[in-house]
Structure formats: C-alpha cells, structure tokens
C-alpha cells in the first residue's frame, strides 16, 4: 500500500489512515464521517489526507480544503485570520488534523477550522517499521544439508527484518492538489 501511494498517489488496498485509526482516536481525532452526524455548531476534531486546497480570488482570503480518511471526505473552511495563524500547517501538510465548528448549511456540511496541525509525520506509522515483523520461516528461508525434514514446523528464533532503507517507506508522501 505504501508503494502504491508512492508511485501512483492512490491504492486499491486499505486507506493509510485505517492503519493508524486507533492512534488518531487516542489523540481525540474522529473519523471524517462523524462530521455528517455531528450536531450543528458542535466542536469536533478530525484528521485526514489533504486532497485539495483552494483559495479562489473571489473568496476574499478564505481557503477551502478537502480532507479524506478511510471513512469519508470532509470539507473545511479556513477563514483568513485562522489561515494566518496556521499558515505553515495549512499550506504544507499532506495530513492535517483540525479542530473546529460543525456547520450544516444548504445540504452541505463543513468544518469551520479553529486550529490546524500538520500531522504528516504520523504517516510514518503506517509502515509499522517500529513494530516487530515476525514471519514464519518457509522452506526457501532455510539452509539445507542438516538432514532434518525442512517441512516440520520449527519455532522462529528471530524474525526477518523486512525493512529496506533504500525504499524509504517510513516517509509516505501524498501530493495534494493546490488551486489558487
């Protein structure tokens, strides 16, 4: 899945945030689908990959952002004052965590952003490099010539390390589309 995102920007496998959902919930971030059912005017926090940033000239400095997680897309409105306070995160993040007010108007649901946080580093958790990666040893993994039947199940004495430094799977980058 990480390689799919690196090469094409999408994957037919699971969404990257599905792998870190528990971690996000422990930090207080709800899935984007909760925005639809949240009470108008309530405050919630959501996190997602930045799909689109738009700041039309006719919008008087208002930025519109679309986030995506494994559950849904979310529309964000960032007023000029909040944009200036969170400029670096809003413009540079490939994954954004936002807290704000829910707004249901004319059949469209938005999150009026009050705080934004660059969570791009959290995508490094998707690769799971810091976790153990135990694999059962198969026949091709064994050294022959011992006289034992290699098909007998054996306890694993040490897991193989599947991390390859040249692949840089610890730095998943998702390109956002910026329209100005």
Please say if the pLDDT value at position 139 is more than 50: no
CB 100 within 8 A of CB 76: yes
Q: Please give the residue that has the higher pLDDT: either 49 or 132.
A: 49
Query: Which is it for strands 63-68 and 95-105: parallel, antiparallel or unpaired?
Result: unpaired
Residues whose CB is less than 8 angstroms from the CB of residue 61 and which lie 6 or more positions away in sequence, other chains included: 55, 79, 80, 83
The neighbouring-strand residues paired with 74 are 67
User: So what's the pLDDT on residue 148?
Assistant: 54
Between CA 134 and CA 141 the distance in angstroms is: 13
pLDDT (mean) for 85-97? 91
Predicted confidence (pLDDT) per residue in 33-68, tens digit: 999 999 999 999 999 988 899 998 888 999 999 999
User: So what's the pLDDT on residue 136?
Assistant: 43
Q: What is the mean pLDDT of the chain?
A: 77
CB 53 within 8 A of CB 63: yes
User: So what's the pLDDT on residue 112?
Assistant: 96
User: So what's the pLDDT on residue 102?
Assistant: 96
Distance from chain centroid for Cα 176: 12
Please say if the pLDDT value at position 25 is more than 80: yes
Q: Please give the residue that has the higher pLDDT: either 151 or 105.
A: 105
User: So what's the pLDDT on residue 177?
Assistant: 66
How many Å is the Cα radius of gyration of the chain? Answer: 21
Between CA 83 and CA 77 the distance in angstroms is: 10
What share of the chain in percent tops pLDDT 90? 40
CB 64 within 8 A of CB 54: yes
User: So what's the pLDDT on residue 93?
Assistant: 87
Distance from chain centroid for Cα 70: 9
User: So what's the pLDDT on residue 71?
Assistant: 87
Please say if the pLDDT value at position 133 is more than 60: no
CB atoms within 10 A of CB 133: 11
Please, how many CA atoms are within 13 Å of residue 173, restricted to the half-sphere of its CB? 7
Domains and CATH numbers, the chain: 2-128+166-179 (2.40.50.140)
What share of the chain in percent tops pLDDT 70? 61
């Amino acid at each position: 899945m990480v390689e799919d995102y690196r090469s094409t920007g999408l994957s037919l496998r699971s969404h990257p945030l599905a792998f870190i959902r528990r971690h996000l919930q422990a930090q207080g971030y709800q899935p984007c689908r909760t925005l639809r059912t949240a009470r108008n005017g309530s405050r919630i926090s959501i996190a997602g990959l930045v799909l689109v940033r738009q700041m039309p000239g006719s919008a008087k400095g208002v930025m519109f952002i679309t986030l995506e997680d494994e559950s849904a897309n979310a529309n964000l409105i960032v007023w000029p004052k909040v944009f200036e306070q969170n400029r670096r995160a809003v413009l540079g993040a490939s994954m954004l965590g936002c807290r704000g007010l829910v707004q249901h108007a004319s059949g469209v649901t938005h999150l009026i952003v009050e705080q934004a946080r660059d969570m791009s580093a959290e995508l490094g958790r998707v690769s799971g490099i810091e976790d153990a990666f135990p694999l059962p040893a198969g026949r091709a993994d064994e050294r022959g010539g011992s006289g034992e039947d290699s098909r007998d199940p054996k306890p694993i004495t040490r897991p193989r390390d599947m991390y390859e430094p040249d692949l840089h799977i610890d730095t998943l980058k998702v390109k956002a589309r910026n329209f100005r």
